[in-house]
Amino acid sequence: MIEIKKLLKQTKNLTVLYVEDDKDLLSSTSEMLQNYFSVVGSAINGEDALIKFDAYYQKNDINYDLIITELEMPKLDGIDCIKEIYQRNSSQAIIVLSAYQTSEYLLPLINLGIEQFLVKPLEFNKLHEVLYNCCKKINVLKNSFNTNMLNDDFVFNENVVYNRKERILSESGSSIKLTRNEASFLQLITNGSEKIITNGDIVTYFNESGNNINPENIRNMVSKLRKKLPDYSVESVYGIGYKVHSH
């Protein structure tokens, strides 16, 4: 059993979007979540969840830290909603709730990469345990990112570092030659690994720097840059853009 004080240490600075088509349950559980999280959003179905998810990002320029969603919902079910959310943020932390636990439901969710699956009705000791473990993981990732951004250095791994001030990529202290476009791309993408950098963002950023670029050139540039970085450092988000990872 997780102590509330221990749980709060992990949840108090995080935000959550709760999705549930049962109005009474939505209200009561949202009220309970407000005791733990700094911000609690709510949505009545999958379609409403996407509207709330997008509105929060547009207002705050950051995604919810966690999404907790029912699976069986009208208008847009949980699985299709999750797919849409992962298109927007491939590393989104998601906990799924459902009264069903057959392979018909579980396998698609496992393949999508959700954090946890909980069977309804909720057993609150189990919910607390899942929230603690999930939020602890979120905080570790956020702290790692914040440590990177407090310094001029963005650390890809223990050997490969990009210095944003000097615009220099190095491996074990030795500089790696970058083209002008590669350095500009690294400046942009290492400025926010919590979110996806869209192709539109890249084109706009390059244009403002007086350097025109098109999507095909972006793909070619990223392909060459990946050879200079650790594996899986730059993730392609199909049809949207790119995301950077530190290891």
Residue pLDDT, tens place only, 126-177: 889 999 988 988 887 776 555 555 567 888 888 999 988 888 999 998 999 9
**Cβ of 47: how many Cβ atoms within 10 Å?**
17
Q: CATH classification of 4-145 is 3.40.50.2300, yes or no?
A: yes
Mean pLDDT of 99-125: 69
Task: Identify the CA nearest to 77 among candidates 54, 109, 107.
Answer: 109
Summarised one tens digit per residue, pLDDT across range 23-66 is 999 999 999 999 999 999 999 999 999 999 999 998 888 899 99
- Rg of the chain taking only CA atoms, in angstroms: 20
Reported pTM? 0.60
In this predicted structure, which of 80-94, 135-149, 220-234 has the lowest mean pLDDT? Answer: 135-149
In this predicted structure, which of 33-37, 107-111, 233-237 has the lowest mean pLDDT? Answer: 107-111
pLDDT of residue 110: 60
Q: State whether residue 70 is helix, strand or coil.
A: strand
Task: Identify the CA nearest to 183 among candidates 215, 150, 157, 205.
Answer: 205
Report the alpha-carbon distance of residue 157 to residue 139 in Å, rounded: 19
Ordered by start, the domain boundaries in the chain are: 4-145, 151-244
Average of per-residue pLDDT values in the chain: 85
Fold agreement (4-145, 151-244): no
Mean pLDDT of 211-223: 86
Domain 151-244's class?
mainly alpha
Q: State whether residue 202 is helix, strand or coil.
A: helix
pLDDT of residue 106: 62
pLDDT of residue 103: 52
pLDDT of residue 241: 84
